Amino acid sequence: MALFFPLLNASCSTLEGSAFGCADTEEGLRTVVKGYMDLAAKDLAANLSADIDGVPIPISSSNSVGSTRPAFSFTLPPDDILTFIEEGPFAPGTYYPMVDDGYTSC
């Protein structure tokens, strides 16, 4: 059985913008997300791990610099998570761009 899940990830969109710690351009979003992953990478080998029933499983970076993956759109439903965490309220709809990066285990 294959299992794929995020261990640590970051995402930013222009919808959130600089008012919520992201940025107002795609390039700016990439810079913010890369900054988060750079902080995580400093202690990655010593502090980030995963296991299933005591068996260690490998960790990989989904994209080490977050700059080559394409930006993508996302759709917010009426009861969205961004509003729940007080980054809104935002109107339901589809927004672009968003970028992400992270560490996964599979």
pLDDT one digit per residue (tens) for the chain, 106 residues: 777 777 788 899 999 999 999 999 999 999 999 888 888 777 665 677 788 899 888 776 554 445 568 999 999 999 999 989 998 899 999 999 999 988 777 6
pTM (predicted TM-score): 0.77
DSSP calls for 13-78: ETTTTGGGTS-SSHHHHHHHHHHHHHHHHHTHHHH---EETTEE--EEES-SSSSSSPPEEEEE-S
Count of domains forming the chain: 1
Q: Which residues pair with residue 95 across a beta bridge?
A: 74
39-47 long-range contacts, CB within 8 A, separation 24+ = 40/8, 40/103, 44/103
- DSSP H or E segment with residue 81: helix 81-84
- Residue 68: which domain range? 5-105
